[in-house]
Amino acid sequence: MSDTNITKIPAPRVELVDTRTGLISREWFRFFNNIYVITGGASQGITQVENGGTGASTAAQARANLGAGTVSRVVGTGYASGLSLVGDVTGTGTISLQGEVIVNSGDLVGTIDISTQTTGNLDLATRVTGVLPVANGGTGLAVRPTVATKTADFTLADTEGWVINNKSGSTCTATLPAASAWAGRAVTFKNLQLQTLVSASSNVVPLLGGAAGTAILPGLVGAWATLVSDGTNWVVMAS
């Protein structure tokens, strides 16, 4: 720029508009023109920041990065209120969340709702703050288990988790569902009669282990036992 005539700012006494011609004065014109030339002139103008400083290579991608469309890729590390995104975030990549995640959307405050999650894995890598509810007490039932009192032989219903034997006069026989269909399900039985409670099939493993048999409760009032399906048999876990 050595050949550029660097004009000093005109003195205060120099009028911006020449009163004789009504046009900008010669001194002020030279001043503004040299600023125009120094900053790039017609070829560039005042130095531009490419795509708004978003780091995008196109205007469309710049708008997307600013929230006006879909972001296909974010490269590097970013932070927002304690939440950091580390690495490349793509449609098929990995998002690493470090710090505190706060969800605040309408009625959903401080909670991540996964009630509609039907596929994939929920990774609770190292820590969970708060309570992670276990559906219906971990009984394996789709609804909360009910208490049922039996006065005759019976078939255990899908919703029954607590069963009282009150059949008098003879042994009470319970038909238990296939253990293979209820892996992890727990059922507790209690006796109110001096009669035994047995299974209709040899699918009950005793408390001390061994071969599966039919015995569930002895003929004692107050006797009780909790059975849990291991996917093959019903195992007495406590009594």
pLDDT digits (tens, 9 = 90+) for 172-229: 999 999 999 999 999 999 999 999 999 999 999 999 999 999 999 999 999 999 999 9
- Confidence tier at 110 by pLDDT (50, 70, 90): very low
Distances (CA, A) of 163 to 146, 169, 190, 197, 225: 8, 18, 6, 11, 10
Structure tokens at 194: 């001096």
Position 46 scores a pLDDT of 53
Percent of the chain with pLDDT over 70: 55
Q: Residue 66 corresponds to which amino acid?
A: L
Question: Would you say 166 and 149 are in contact if contact means Cβ atoms under 8 Å apart?
Answer: yes
Residue 169 pLDDT class (50, 70, 90 cuts): very high
pLDDT at 84 over 60: no
pLDDT digits (tens, 9 = 90+) for 15-56: 889 888 989 888 888 888 888 777 666 655 555 566 666 667
23-30 — which CB contacts under 8 Å span 24+ positions? Answer: 30/5
Q: Is the pTM of this model over 0.75?
A: no
